[in-house]
Amino acid sequence: MGRLIIVSNRVAPISEGGPAAGGLAVGVYDALKETGGVWFGWSGDVLTVPPEAIKLEEQGPVTFATIGLVRRDYDQYYRGFSNATLWPAFHYRPDLIEFDRDEYDGYCRVNRWLAAQLAPLLRPDDVIWVHDYHLIPFAQALRELGVKNRIGFFLHIPFPASQILLSVPRHRELVEALCAFDLLGFQTEPDLHAFCDYVETEAGGTLTRHAAKPVEVRAFGKTLKAAAYPIGVYPDEVRALAKDGESGRDVQTVKATLHQRKLVMSVDRLDYSKGLVERFRAFERLMEHDPQQRNNVSFLQIAPPTRSDVDAYRDIRLQLEAESGRINGRYAELDWTPIRYIHRQYERPVLAALFREAHVGFVTPLRDGMNLVAKEYVSAQDPDDPGVLVLSQFAGAARELKAALIVNPLDIDGMAEALATALAMPLDERRARHREMYALLRDNNVSVWRDNFLRDLKAR
Ligand code: GDG
């Protein structure tokens, strides 16, 4: 059996329970341990001189292969085209797209360079699984080097509707590059449909649909497959982590300072796609319309920093600071602050235990490929006394978690109403909703996601 080669922009540091070990890292690492293999990507270092060689670190059957990027490559490939062009476009924010030809050239150049670094490590029967929007041209680059292995791609973020994708200059080259993969995986059916629609209407390609199998795509002289594989979590592990963390110091502090008040909670990277400003306003609207809620409920927003060297991220941070200050100034009392906004990262067990404490998980992105926080919140609950998930219709997770209270994140009043409903929901209803969602998370855990993708990638 061939090895599995994972390629992602960043290689996740595998320290169990460490801050960065999310569902994806753990799920993919499991597969690597089973088959043996390599995890290749950027080390996270930005260098002043070009790196001499890949750094290889063996951990049992897994080799971590990492390499640094020089400042110009980081600026053009990562900060520029990936995060200032593709990220906003794929999250339906053409107003935030910044496009620069040199950055696009840098993006393609870095993809070719990374492919050339990986190629010598490959064996003929290896299966290569590439992750996310930073690496769209990666298969094309490997093919140019004569690599014949199976290569799959999973897109963690939404695939935009054609009319949005058209706003990215060079969109056609990007889709042509995607067609150099053997299998494309999307989070949801609408993402798959958006891709298929582009292929048919913009690229003159054709599609063959088979029941319960990937769509067969013919475009740009290539034949490939495409399907939706919704990513999951390991709910039992999150539940255990949450239970173990209950007695931890941070959780006890939160409990003590709540003084029996109810807790609404959110965790997101500080990103404009996550709908944080609208969420703060919805909490304010709840206070406004329902004075009884004042001093009886607190909202904890944990939003660790991310991509702070991209302009749009500085803007959203300032906006949030202003909003939380304004709302707290309006409603805070001597013994109560309505919004606790924390711009910092916490350890995974602490987050899981806080999720379990929270009466409401308030997860309202404007767009999100999946949103693992929603799945982690449900997983962490005590099944005998679970909290309620309020979830945006624009998170991929809403297609599965139908027993959540589904909201439109642009409808501030609607979100405030959903919060009130969640805070007052009777125990029987909370239990029934939670039971349905937990069963689904178990059936579609991260191993199922990975195994389904790899099965289709390996199938001829
Ligand atoms: C992309 C797509 C898709 C957050 N803060 C802390 C922390 N986290 C963890 C969460 C969760 C993960 O990070 C975030 O995952 P999300 O899915 O919510 O969002 P993105 O980062 O945007 O992820 C998304 C995902 O890829 C997977 O395919 O679902 O749609 O955008 O696991 O718990 N973890 C720790 N400390 C924090 O402060 N330890």
Sequence-distant (≥ 6) Cβ neighbours of residue 204 within 8 angstroms: 219
Give all strands (DSSP E) within 292-333, no chain letters: 297-302
Phi-psi region of 6 (alpha: psi -120 to 50; beta: other; left: phi over 0): beta
Of the pLDDT bands very low, low, confident and very high (cuts 50, 70, 90), residue 22 is low
Residue minimizing CA distance to atom 28 of ligand 1: 156
User: For the segment 201-216, what is each residue's pLDDT rounded down to a tens digit?
Assistant: 999 999 999 888 999 9
Burial of 450 (0-12, 13-18, 19+ CB in 10 A): buried
pLDDT at 24: 67
CA–centroid distance, 373 to ligand 1, in Å, is: 6
pLDDT at 299: 98
Query: DSSP secondary-structure letter at 232?
Result: -
Of the pLDDT bands very low, low, confident and very high (cuts 50, 70, 90), residue 28 is confident
| Ligand 1 within 6 A of CB of 32 | no
Residues of the chain with pLDDT > 90: what percent? 90
Region 247-265: mean pLDDT is 94
Residue 361 β-bridge partners? 265, 389
Residue 67 β-bridge partners? 42
Region 436-440: mean pLDDT is 98
Give the residue, out of 90, 135, 191, 372, with the most ligand 1 atoms within 8 A of its beta carbon, to mutate for a pocket test.
Answer: 372
Count other Cβ atoms within 10 Å, centred on residue 75.
18
Sequence-distant (≥ 6) Cβ neighbours of residue 420 within 8 angstroms: 286, 290, 293
| Ligand 1 within 6 A of CB of 192 | no
Identified catalytic residue from 91, 131, 134, 156 = 156
- Determine what percent of the chain falls in helix, strand and coil, rounding each to the nearest 5: 50, 20, 30
User: For the segment 327-373, what is each residue's pLDDT rounded down to a tens digit?
Assistant: 999 999 999 999 999 999 999 999 999 999 999 999 999 999 999 99
| Ligand 1 within 6 A of CB of 167 | no
pLDDT at 157: 96
Residue minimizing CA distance to atom 23 of ligand 1: 371
pLDDT of 21 over the 50 cut = no
CA–centroid distance, 370 to ligand 1, in Å, is: 9
Of the listed ranges 21-25, 193-197, 395-399, 417-421, the one predicted with least confidence: 21-25
User: For the segment 122-151, what is each residue's pLDDT rounded down to a tens digit?
Assistant: 999 999 999 999 999 999 999 999 999 999
CA–centroid distance, 457 to ligand 1, in Å, is: 25
- Domains of the chain and CATH, by start: 4-232+445-458 (3.40.50.2000), 235-443 (3.40.50.2000)
Known active-site residue 368: yes
Q: Which atom of ligand 1 is nearest to the CA of 23?
A: 32
The CA–CA distances, whole Å, from 250 to 23, 243, 303, 378 equal 22, 14, 16, 20
User: For the segment 93-102, what is each residue's pLDDT rounded down to a tens digit?
Assistant: 999 999 999 9
Give the pairing type, strands 183-186 and 150-154. Answer: parallel
Identified catalytic residue from 359, 368, 434, 456 = 368
In whole numbers, what is the pLDDT of the chain averaged over residues?
95
Burial of 101 (0-12, 13-18, 19+ CB in 10 A): exposed
Pick the closest to residue 225 from 173, 165, 152 (CA basis): 152
| Ligand 1 within 6 A of CB of 215 | no
Residue 228 β-bridge partners? 186
| Ligand 1 within 6 A of CB of 304 | yes
Give the residue, out of 9, 238, 364, 370, with the most ligand 1 atoms within 8 A of its beta carbon, to mutate for a pocket test.
Answer: 370
Region 448-452: mean pLDDT is 95
Give the residue, out of 133, 241, 250, 269, with the most ligand 1 atoms within 8 A of its beta carbon, to mutate for a pocket test.
Answer: 269
| Ligand 1 within 6 A of CB of 233 | no
pLDDT of 18 over the 70 cut = no
CA pair distance 460, 457, nearest whole angstrom: 8
User: For the segment 379-405, what is each residue's pLDDT rounded down to a tens digit?
Assistant: 999 999 999 999 999 999 999 999 999
| Ligand 1 within 6 A of CB of 131 | no
Angle between helices 427-443 and 235-245 (to 10 degrees): 130
The CA–CA distances, whole Å, from 330 to 66, 147, 288, 318, 333 equal 49, 61, 10, 18, 9
CA pair distance 278, 38, nearest whole angstrom: 41
CA–centroid distance, 372 to ligand 1, in Å, is: 6
pLDDT of 25 over the 90 cut = no
CA–centroid distance, 78 to ligand 1, in Å, is: 18
Pick the closest to residue 81 from 199, 152, 160, 171 (CA basis): 171
Q: Is 222 helix (H, G, I), strand (E, B) or coil?
A: strand
Q: Which atom of ligand 1 is nearest to the CA of 154?
A: 28
CA–centroid distance, 267 to ligand 1, in Å, is: 8
CA–centroid distance, 285 to ligand 1, in Å, is: 27
CA angle in degrees (0–180, nearest 5) for 390-391-393 = 140
Give the pairing type, strands 297-302 and 388-392. Answer: unpaired
